[in-house]
Chains A and B, each alone.
Chain A
Amino acid sequence: MNRRIILALIIGVLASLVYAQTEVTVFIGSRQNPELIGSLLEQFNAANPDIVASYELGGTTSEVQQQYLNTVLTSKSDDIDIFLIDVVRPATYAAAGWAAPLNEYFESEAAMMEFLDQFLPGPVNANLIDGTLYALPSYTDAQFLYYRQDLLDKYGFEPPATWDELMSQAIIIMQGENNPNLQGFNYQGAAIEGANCTFLEPLWSAGGNWRDEAGAITVDSFEGRRALNWLLNTMDVGITKPNIAETATDNSRQEMQAGDVIFMLNWGYAWGRFQNDEDSQVKGLIGVAPLPSFTGFESATCIGGWQWAINNYSSNKEAAFKVLQYMTSEDVQRVLAAQDSRIPARISLYSDPEVLAAAPHFGQFFDVIINARPRPVTPFYDEVSELIRTTVNAVLSRSISVDDALETMQTGLEDIIGN
């Protein structure tokens, strides 16, 4: 009899413990500094005794992570409560019903907008779909024009404002340097995610876009032709190597880091590698500028970065939102910016002394990032991206003509969006 009472008591205590503490599982990629995120979550747990937040580690690249999340979410699993997703995904997650709408956690619509005003407009626009908020920005990124400050100084050039300027500067420097391995201009031509930006950036900076305000696809246009012809032109005049179609993001970075590239388009991570890597040949020789444009048009660049969203199948959404608020707070983003060189999504941090002391280049980055544009915001982003990047790659590997490429993209995009 006694034993039963004790047993019941123990079960009761255990049950209340379980009941009191809500477990929240946070999914992050394995290269998103799990140690730091882990210590931040522990601080959160100490401040919120009723919640136990821990992280689960996914694969390395955005694609591998997505593949895993696809499986978990298709099975409507509640194993994960919060996930960190690429900036191109919120629209997809919203359409599939995988991300929980966040509007209800704010007192009012106005309070939500006021909260969002503290963040950069680019990522917020990617997360806000038809007035419903599906994710909050963690950190951001963009493509920058990296250039060799020392070489431009030597020939008396300013960073180029137009693509034509970039080409003429590159030609002059290449002739002057007489180094057979020197490339004038390097970008991502491999059939990877970055190839979308390789096409979209000159398209935008020629005044075009992939679709117009009314939603009609406008790839097969003067601007589209101008963008692709410019890319081919860089190879024809020899400032870009003929095998650019096999160059992926990090190949570009490595080649510039070896001192073989004058101008390069790449994401924000490259800067830190140039300055800090042991084997860098270009320490202190690299400058950063906004992307050039075609004469008479505005410069434009692709936005990158990662967003926090709540699993719609989660059974602990309230607690999950608390974790979300914490992870997007100014304090946490300051730690991520200062200790992990993540480009902050909060505007105030670009003038924060602690951040600028740790990463002085963020000051320069701000002018580029404030104008960064999202890649196509559509639920069918995966299909759109696959079509654009393979077609651009086909043009750069000279297996189809510009005209055929534009027609393929135009009809393909119409099929995808129209369906």
Chain B
Amino acid sequence: MSRQSPFTARLFTNIGLILLIVAGLFPAIWLILTSFKLDGELVRLPITYWPDAATLSNYVQVFERNPFARFLLNSFVVSLGATLICVLFAALAGYALARLRIPGRRLILTGIVMTSMFPALVLLVPLYRLFVGAEIPGLGISTPNLLNTYWALIIPYVALSLPIATLILTSFFQLIPEDLESAAMVDGSSRTGALFRIVAPLSAPGMVTAGIIVFVNSWNEFLLALTFNTSLMMRTVPVGITFYQGEYAFPWAIISAAVTVGIVPLVALILFFQQRIISGLTAGGVKG
């Protein structure tokens, strides 16, 4: 596509690339640089860019003061669980909404999206009542107490991310030409067969994107994690990071180190999977 582009176009593209990279990465780079500084260096004028006396002590403290490795594990389990369930449910629903002639499907889609129109803040108390184990009036049965389990976060995270995931996947299924699918069905494969062999590979970019968005949403959620999982060993990364704050103090150096440790595995994971899944699936699918 870019083979015949004139010089100016390439120039603009490259300037755009560089600007984008600088703007996107600078705050993160600044955060990483800060994580190697001592606290006192942060309020010195004129400000220093490169750490004066680079130190790893902030990173050591991140793991010494709190079980941060455990926080990472918790976040990983919760986010992965929520992502797998959510993308599966959303893919099924998205396919139905995009492809099947169901009466009132626009209403259903609006209904699903509607659940994300309330600030999580006002849903917090009723959700807590639900998860602490309450008796359902009239039925004589109680919901189990799920606090301090992974399910206490996985279930609401699935529910909170379902609207966005469903909407993304609905729009991607709509993009896939219907003829491809009917061609496959005429060939003798069933609808389910068509779904798996034709539609799934073509919608891979959508699935991966939905997955990334659900995963990151769950990884970064703060309010429910703070309230539902209160034992130290069940804390997640965003809540864990706040444990390095003082009552008044905000020790930037250590917190930068904690944020860095919290996002680097996340980003590495996503980059790896994005590359793998997208190249793997689209390569297999589009040709067919």
Contacts and interface: CB of A to CB of B under 8 A. Distances in A.
Top 7 A-B residue pairs of the complex, sorted by shortest distance between their CB atoms: A279-B40, A249-B248, A60-B245, A250-B249, A254-B43, A258-B43, A30-B243
A57 interface: yes
A137 interface: no
A79 to B, nearest CB: 8
A77 interface: yes
Given A64-B226, A68-B227, A250-B246, A75 B132 contact: yes
Interface of B: 38-45, 124-125, 128-129, 132, 147, 226-227, 230-232, 239, 242-243, 245-250
Nearest to B40: A279
A298 interface: no
B129 A75 contact: yes
Nearest to B44: A258
Nearest to A192: B248
Interface band, chain A: 35 or more
B45 A181 contact: yes
A29 interface: yes
A269 interface: yes
B247 A280 contact: no
A267 interface: yes
A50 interface: no
Given A278-B38, A279-B39, A56 B128 contact: no
Q: Which of B38, B40, B43, B132 lies at the interface centre, i.e. has the most chain A CB atoms within 10 A of its CB?
A: B43
Contacts of B129: 75
A255 interface: yes
Contacts of A64: 226, 242
Contacts of A77: 132
B45 A31 contact: no
Nearest to A256: B43
B249 A59 contact: no
Contacts of B42: 254
B231 A71 contact: no
A60 B243 contact: yes
17 contacts: A30-B242, A57-B231, A59-B239, A60-B243, A60-B247, A61-B245, A68-B226, A75-B129, A79-B147, A249-B248, A250-B249, A250-B250, A251-B43, A258-B43, A269-B247, A278-B40, A279-B38
Interface in A312-357: none
Contacts of B250: 248, 250
Contacts of A181: 45
B144 to A, nearest CB: 15
Contact of B242 (A59, A71, A279): A59
Q: Which of B39, B147, B227, B230 lies at the interface centre, i.e. has the most chain A CB atoms within 10 A of its CB?
A: B230
A253 B125 contact: no
Interface string A36-78: 0000000000000000000011111110100110011011010
A253 B248 contact: yes
A32 B248 CA distance: 12
Given A30-B242, A253-B249, A258-B44, 17 more contacts: A32-B247, A57-B230, A57-B231, A60-B245, A64-B242, A68-B226, A68-B230, A71-B227, A72-B128, A249-B248, A254-B42, A255-B43, A260-B43, A269-B246, A278-B38, A279-B38, A279-B39
